[in-house]
Amino acid sequence: MRVTVIGSGYVGLVTGACLSDLGFKVVCLDKDEDKVKMLQAGEVPIYEPGLKELLSRNHAEGRIRFTTDAQLAIDHGDILFIAVGTPAQEDGSADLAHVLSVAAMVGRNLKDFKLIVNKSTVPVGTADRVRAAVKHELTQRGMSSEMFDVVSNPEFLKEGAAIDDFMRPDRIVVGIDDGIHHEKSQRMMGDLYASFNRHHSRTVWMDVRSAELTKYAANAMLATRISFMNEIANLADALGADVDQIRRGIGADNRIGYSFLYAGCGYGGSCFPKDTQALVSTAQAHGQLMSVVNATEQVNERQKTLLVDRLVKRLGDDLTGRKIAVWGLAFKPNTDDMREAPSRVVIKSLLERGAHVTAYDPVAGHEAMVALKLDCAGQEALLNNFNLVAHDMDALHGVDALMVLTEWKNFHNPDFQAMKLSMRTPYILDGRNLYNPDALADLGIAYQGIGRRN
């Protein structure tokens, strides 16, 4: 079986790289010529640990190719993955323009049976619309409209751990609808993922709509756990309790489990915010309320401003003349992704209050500048008070406070004595609960975590 992956973004590249590493001959198609040239030259447009090595090895060994040639790509694959973006629109619903234009392109180029696999995160009902778009093109060309099937195979990859998540999945969700191709499609998807089902079957088979909704339900559940813990943390702060002890206390219950219970300065990224909004908007379109998911979003928006509110409480609303350091800009460690990163809200709010901000991130500096320019459009002068530094300690000279917004590993054990000497006032607002409040109190550093007793 040969595989074509349409869309060389994050999901497409990881899928293509991993499937080629499993021995499949893969073609990655993208309409962006510069991106394809870059990939052909061995460059990877995104930062994901292990991806570059995987791509270059399989490229050198002839198992993966990159092209802008749609006909070549469609001819190549028995299985065609659609892995293009579904950005959120103004009203929160997912924009399907890319997915549907790919579907039409497939229809225009189809010569024999292909299995079309939806990998992009798409609202329930999208597979039907993909099916209709392909059929329309085939009918225009006077060809049989039974030459393909569409299945749903949502991805559950975490940025920063995507290769490992793909290669060692907890489960593989495959949605296939009844119809003349059902058996064939199931066999092809079974063969595609056979490597992961050797020990026991990790594939969960279901119908297409359930598979599409499973993806949103998973992300909404995870986001809800985080917002729930953030609310508990805020209450713990008010009551003098400690959220980390509470986390252990509830995590020990098998039904709850330990993961995704970390309170912090809010979740970000390209998935949770977009998918929770899309779920709410899908529900609305069907006359349903998603009260829990709605609340999850509201709590998260509030949580992003929590650290600034605390700083303001201590230093006053006008931060003119104040210097604030920020450690960590990416929405989470091991990525340069700035989409919906809490740091964007925090930094803009500090700049608007007149503060001077010095920031450090191990990899996201460039992306952060791009994002902040966007956020400060029309208020460009704000950025005169912002600068990036190349080393974490360089951010601290003469500052009134340090805000830690991303839990990069190298922030875990800093030299607190040196930090204290460098800062004008030793005050740490820890948005990721990295530090021990008691140890910092002993060192004479003022400390505020999220829901930590101190």
Among 155, 242, 361, 430, the residue binding ligand UGA under the rule CB under 6 A is 155
Considering the complex, what minimum distance in angstroms separates the CB of residue 229 from ligand UGA? Answer: 7
Candidates 299, 344, 288, 274; CA nearest to 120 is 274
Considering the complex, what minimum distance in angstroms separates the CB of residue 33 from ligand UGA? Answer: 26
| Whether the Cβ atoms of residue 253 and residue 327 lie closer than 8 Å to each other | no
Among 18, 28, 271, 376, the active-site one is: 271
Residue 88: DSSP 8-state: B
Residue 146: DSSP 8-state: T
The reply on whether position 411 binds ligand UGA by CB under 6 A is no
The reply on whether position 306 binds ligand UGA by CB under 6 A is no
The reply on whether position 327 binds ligand UGA by CB under 6 A is no
| Closer of 346 and 382 to ligand UGA (Cβ) | 346
Among 332, 353, 356, 452, the residue binding ligand UGA under the rule CB under 6 A is 332
Q: How far apart are CA 383 and CA 30, in angstroms?
A: 35
The reply on whether position 361 binds ligand UGA by CB under 6 A is no
23 burial class (0-12, 13-18, 19+ CB within 10 angstroms)?
Answer: exposed
The reply on whether position 272 binds ligand UGA by CB under 6 A is yes
| Closer of 77 and 431 to ligand UGA (Cβ) | 431
| Closer of 119 and 135 to ligand UGA (Cβ) | 119
The reply on whether position 451 binds ligand UGA by CB under 6 A is no
| Whether the Cβ atoms of residue 181 and residue 147 lie closer than 8 Å to each other | no
The reply on whether position 431 binds ligand UGA by CB under 6 A is no
Q: Which stretch binds ligand UGA (CB under 6 A): 24-32, 66-74, 94-102, 155-163?
A: 155-163
Q: Which stretch binds ligand UGA (CB under 6 A): 70-78, 170-178, 265-273, 357-365?
A: 265-273
**What six digits make up the tokens of 208?**
């297409």
Candidates 218, 361, 334; CA nearest to 276 is 218
| Whether the Cβ atoms of residue 66 and residue 9 lie closer than 8 Å to each other | no
| Closer of 122 and 271 to ligand UGA (Cβ) | 271
Number of other residues whose CB lies within 10 A of the CB of residue 20: 25
Q: Which residue pairs, CB below 8 angstroms and at least 24 apart, start in 280-285?
A: 280/92, 281/91, 281/92, 281/93, 282/93, 282/123, 282/124, 282/216, 285/93
The yes-or-no answer on residue 265 being catalytic is: no
At position 332, the amino acid (one-letter code) is K
Region 210-239 residues binding ligand UGA, contact defined as CB under 6 A = 219, 222, 226
The reply on whether position 24 binds ligand UGA by CB under 6 A is no
The reply on whether position 447 binds ligand UGA by CB under 6 A is no
Number of residues engaging ligand UGA in binding (CB under 6 A): 21
* Helical (H) or strand (E) element with 103: helix 97-109
| Closer of 135 and 332 to ligand UGA (Cβ) | 332
Q: Which stretch binds ligand UGA (CB under 6 A): 122-130, 197-205, 257-265, 304-312?
A: 257-265
Among 25, 108, 158, 202, the residue binding ligand UGA under the rule CB under 6 A is 158
SS3 104: helix
Number of other residues whose CB lies within 10 A of the CB of residue 92: 17
**What six digits make up the tokens of 211?**
């598979």
Residue 46: C-alpha distances to residues 11, 21, 326 (Å): 11, 19, 23
The reply on whether position 18 binds ligand UGA by CB under 6 A is no
**What six digits make up the tokens of 147?**
């030459």
Among 331, 386, 408, 411, the residue binding ligand UGA under the rule CB under 6 A is 331
Q: Which residues are annotated as a binding site for substrate?
A: 156-159, 215, 260-264, 268, 332
The reply on whether position 131 binds ligand UGA by CB under 6 A is no
First to last CA, the chain: 59
Q: What is the DSSP string of 227-243?
A: HHHHHHHHHHHHHT--H
Considering the complex, what minimum distance in angstroms separates the CB of residue 94 from ligand UGA? Answer: 12
Q: Which residues are annotated as a binding site?
A: 30, 35, 86, 121, 156-159, 215, 260-264, 268, 274, 332, 339
Residue 182: DSSP 8-state: H
Binding site for ligand UGA (CB under 6 A): 121, 155-159, 219, 222, 226, 260-262, 264, 267-269, 271-272, 275, 331-332
Catalytic residues: 271
